[in-house]
């Protein structure tokens, strides 16, 4: 199981570098909850030149200043299923003109190895088949892919091949018809939190139609799907069931990651003071998030239109309910005290309707930003054709 994040900002995007950096960093933290063992990124500059970076450890170790400078790119955080934990085995993978990353599992990789040659990582079969112009009918499993085609250097592609996790957000300016960009994360709650932290007020959330390949254009904000291209794999759960990573000593590799980073899932070994210290350090490093949290609490609790400064916010921080709000919203209250990831996710989902950061900051009808399906959604016309 892995985590994905990606973006495609247009020439009309009004977000500052700091806003983009904060948004991408928070999305990286979300991806690390699903992966966290190694990371990889692909960025594309305004001239269509791409660059790949990889490393061991969590995605938050990447250079987010550099990522925020790129108008288009994607990131991947890996939890190994097949293949050793090495930089070489980290996504994205390059096959001819295709550079791609995958969140999911190819369950029949051994059979595919016999057909097409051995691969270190099961996901490699996907991108080799795409590069060869083949369909994915011989592949079994599930997941989402993000990929780049070097023949079209200012385009990016997304596809839910089947039963994959991904939320796609369209960022827009309500005062005109301009699209500011697109942003995606493996988990919708993580994406909304990242957008809130980055100060994005207006967006719509979509789901992807399975098998459909979505094509993003860097500068214009045009979104197309490829009518003559479908990438769908056969669903096969077999022995994987609800797959949560390979098992080691009676618990999953995913649990092993959380145990090593946040303590045992069976007992609490972190004090409340330690919890608060971790969260305070996080918000202190990213003041825009701290200010957003405190501003929301200030408005809700005191009904006061005055927004506290960062200095005032820092003084208030230790006593503010914003700490508890943030920990509950992100699940850190459970994770940092030894709770399981599933428990944290349930807690976060339960609080999602009760305390919704995005709803509180968006001045728009609820229907405008609730999830929609772009199954038969008309793609945006080219500006020259309007």
Q: Give the model confidence (pLDDT) of 311-337 as tens digits.
A: 554 454 444 455 555 555 555 555 444
Q: How many domains does the chain have?
A: 2
Residue 340: CB atoms within 10 A of its CB come to 17
Q: Give the model confidence (pLDDT) of 301-310 as tens digits.
A: 444 444 444 4
Any idea which residue has 């098992």 for tokens?
Answer: 247
Residues whose CB is less than 8 angstroms from the CB of residue 174 and which lie 6 or more positions away in sequence, other chains included: 202, 364
Is 243 within the bounds of a domain? no
Is 193 within the bounds of a domain? yes
Is 274 found in the same domain as 219?
no
Is 76 within the bounds of a domain? yes
**N-term to C-term CA, the chain:** 43
8 Å CB contact between 196 and 357: yes
More confident residue, 365 or 108: 108
Of 147-156, 182-191, 275-284, 337-346, minimum mean pLDDT range: 337-346
Is 177 found in the same domain as 82?
yes
Q: Give the model confidence (pLDDT) of 208-246 as tens digits.
A: 999 999 999 999 988 988 887 889 998 754 333 333 332
pLDDT for 287: 53
What are the tokens at 331?
Answer: 């699940």
Q: Could you give the percent of the chain with pLDDT greater than 90?
A: 55
What are the tokens at 144?
Answer: 């989402």
Q: Could you give the percent of the chain with pLDDT greater than 70?
A: 61
14-23: burial string, b at 16+ Cβ within 10 Å, e else: ebeeebbbbb
What are the tokens at 293?
Answer: 């949290």
Is 370 within the bounds of a domain? no
More confident residue, 211 or 284: 211
pLDDT for 377: 30
pLDDT for 358: 33
Whether residue 344 is preceded by a cis peptide bond, meaning omega within 30 degrees of 0, is no
How far apart are the C-alpha atoms of 361 and 370, rounded to whole Å? 14
* 243 DSSP β-pair partners: none
Residues whose CB is less than 8 angstroms from the CB of residue 384 and which lie 6 or more positions away in sequence, other chains included: none
Chain mean pLDDT for the chain: 74
Is 274 found in the same domain as 207?
no
pLDDT for 327: 53
The total number of residues written for the chain in this structure = 386
How far apart are the C-alpha atoms of 291 and 361, rounded to whole Å? 13
Of 52-61, 210-219, 277-286, minimum mean pLDDT range: 277-286
Q: Which of 384, 169, 193, 379 is nearest to 282 (CA)?
A: 193
8 Å CB contact between 383 and 219: no
Is 74 found in the same domain as 210?
yes
Is 159 within the bounds of a domain? yes
CATH number at residue 38: 3.60.20.10
Is 138 found in the same domain as 186?
yes
More confident residue, 240 or 141: 141
How far apart are the C-alpha atoms of 69 and 327, rounded to whole Å? 29
Is 195 found in the same domain as 127?
yes
Q: For residue 143, give the 3-state DSSP assignment.
A: strand
Q: Which of 170, 216, 220, 165 is nearest to 188 (CA)?
A: 165
Average pLDDT over residues 21-46: 96
Is 268 within the bounds of a domain? yes
pLDDT for 83: 92
Is 183 found in the same domain as 328?
no
How far apart are the C-alpha atoms of 256 and 251, rounded to whole Å? 7
Average pLDDT over residues 7-11: 96
Q: Which segments of 87-221 are extended strands (E)?
A: 93-95, 98-106, 141-149, 155-162, 167-172, 179-185, 203-207, 212-217
pLDDT for 283: 55
Of 64-68, 199-203, 260-264, minimum mean pLDDT range: 260-264
Of 7-21, 56-70, 83-97, 169-183, minimum mean pLDDT range: 169-183
Q: Give the model confidence (pLDDT) of 164-200 as tens digits.
A: 999 999 999 888 878 999 999 999 999 999 999 999 9
Is 201 found in the same domain as 316?
no
Average pLDDT over residues 1-24: 95
pLDDT for 276: 52
Average pLDDT over residues 73-89: 95
- Give the domain range for residue 341: 263-355
Is 328 within the bounds of a domain? yes
């Amino acid at each position: 199981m892995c985590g994905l994040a990606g973006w495609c900002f247009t020439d009309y995007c009004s977000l500052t570098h700091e806003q983009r950096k904060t948004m991408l960093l928070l999305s990286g933290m979300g991806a690390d909850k699903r992966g966290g063992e190694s990371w990889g990124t692909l960025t594309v500059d305004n001239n269509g030149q791409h660059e790949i970076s990889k490393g061991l450890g969590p995605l938050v170790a990447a250079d987010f200043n550099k990522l925020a400078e790129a108008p288009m790119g994607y990131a991947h955080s890996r939890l190994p299923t097949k293949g050793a934990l090495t930089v070489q085995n980290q996504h994205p993978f390059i096959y001819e003109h295709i550079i791609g990353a995958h969140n999911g599992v190819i369950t029949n990789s051994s059979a595919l190895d016999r057909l097409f040659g051995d691969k270190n990582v099961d996901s490699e079969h996907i991108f080799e088949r795409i590069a060869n112009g083949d369909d994915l009918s011989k592949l079994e499993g599930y997941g989402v892919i993000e990929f780049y085609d070097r023949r079209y250097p200012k385009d990016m592609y997304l596809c839910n091949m089947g039963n994959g996790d991904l939320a796609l957000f369209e960022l827009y300016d309500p005062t005109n018809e301009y699209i500011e960009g697109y942003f995606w994360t493996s988990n919708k709650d993580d994406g909304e939190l990242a957008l809130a932290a980055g100060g994005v007020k207006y967006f719509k959330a979509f789901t992807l139609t399975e098998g459909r390949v979505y094509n993003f254009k860097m500068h214009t904000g045009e979104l197309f799907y490829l009518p003559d291209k479908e990438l769908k794999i056969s669903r096969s759960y077999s022995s994987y069931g609800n797959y949560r990573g390979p098992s080691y000593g009676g618990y999953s590799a995913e649990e092993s990651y959380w145990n090593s980073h946040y303590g045992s899932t069976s007992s609490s070994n972190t004090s409340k003071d330690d919890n608060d210290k971790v969260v305070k350090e996080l918000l202190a490093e990213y003041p825009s998030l701290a200010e957003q949290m405190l501003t929301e609490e200030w408005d809700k609790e005191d009904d006061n239109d005055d927004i506290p400064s960062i200095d005032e916010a820092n003084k208030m921080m230790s006593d503010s309910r914003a700490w508890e709000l943030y920990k509950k919203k992100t699940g850190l209250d459970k994770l940092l005290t030894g709770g399981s990831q599933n428990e944290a996710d349930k807690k976060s989902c339960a609080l999602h309707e009760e305390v919704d950061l995005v709803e509180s900051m968006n001045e728009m009808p609820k229907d405008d930003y609730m999830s929609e399906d772009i199954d038969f959604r008309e793609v945006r016309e080219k500006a020259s054709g309007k």
